[in-house]
Amino acid sequence: MGSFRFALTGNPNSGKTSIFNAATGANQKVGNWGGVTVDVKEGNIRRGNDRVTLIDIPGTYSLSAYTMEELVAREVIIKGDADVIINVLDSTNLERNLYLGVQVMEMGRPMVLAFNMSDELKRSGTVIDTEALSRLFGIPIRFTVGRNGEGVRELLDEAIRVAKGEHPATRQVSVNYGKEIEAAIESLAELVEKSSFNLRGISPRWYALKLLERDDEILRKVRERVPADSPDDNVIFKELESRSKEIEQLYGEDAATIISERRYGFIIGALNETVNKPKANRINIS
Ligand code: GDP
Ligand code: MG
Ligand code: K
The confidence score (pLDDT) of residue 27 equals 73
pLDDT above 60: residue 144 = yes
> pLDDT tens digits for 101-113?
999 999 999 999 9
Q: What is the mean pLDDT of residues 41-64?
A: 82
Looking at per-residue confidence, does 236 or 67 come out higher? 236
Q: C-alpha distances in angstroms, 235 versus 50, 187, 188, 229? A: 45, 11, 9, 10
pLDDT above 90: residue 62 = no
Rounded CA-CA distance 160/140 in Å is: 11
Considering 65-69, 74-78, 181-185, the range whose residues carry the highest mean pLDDT is 181-185
Select from 111, 87, 78 the least CA-distant residue to 218: 78
Instruction: Please state the pTM of the whole predicted model.
Output: 0.91
Looking at all shown ligands, the one closest to residue 13's CA atom is 1
Q: Is 14 annotated as a binding residue?
A: yes
The confidence score (pLDDT) of residue 65 equals 59
The confidence score (pLDDT) of residue 284 equals 57
Ligand 1 pocket check: which of 16, 18, 123, 145 to mutate, most ligand atoms within 8 Å of Cβ?
18
Q: C-alpha distances in angstroms, 131 versus 67, 86, 139, 153, 250? A: 29, 17, 10, 19, 38
The confidence score (pLDDT) of residue 136 equals 93
Q: What is the mean pLDDT of residues 141-157?
A: 97
pLDDT above 60: residue 218 = yes
Of ligand 1's atoms, which has the minimum distance to the CA of residue 61? 2
Q: What is the mean pLDDT of residues 128-137?
A: 95
pLDDT above 60: residue 232 = no
> pLDDT tens digits for 9-51?
999 899 999 999 999 987 777 766 655 556 788 999 999 999 9
Within 8 A by CB and 6+ apart from 93, the residues are: none
Q: Is 83 annotated as a binding residue?
A: no
CB 263 within 8 A of CB 185: no
Within 8 A by CB and 6+ apart from 53, the residues are: 3, 4, 5, 6, 42, 43, 44, 45
Q: Is 118 annotated as a binding residue?
A: yes
* 122 alpha carbon – ligand 2 mean position (Å): 23
Q: What is the mean pLDDT of residues 123-131?
A: 96
Q: Is 216 annotated as a binding residue?
A: no
Looking at all shown ligands, the one closest to residue 59's CA atom is 2
Of ligand 1's atoms, which has the minimum distance to the CA of residue 18? 7
150 Cβ inside 6 Å of ligand 1: no
43 Cβ inside 6 Å of ligand 1: no
Q: Output phi, psi for 201, to 5 deg.
A: 75, 5
> Lowest mean pLDDT: which of 25-29, 80-84, 171-175, 224-228?
224-228
46-78 burial by CB neighbour count: b if 16+ within 10 A, else e?
Answer: eeeebebbbbbbeeeeeeeeeeebbbbbbbbbb
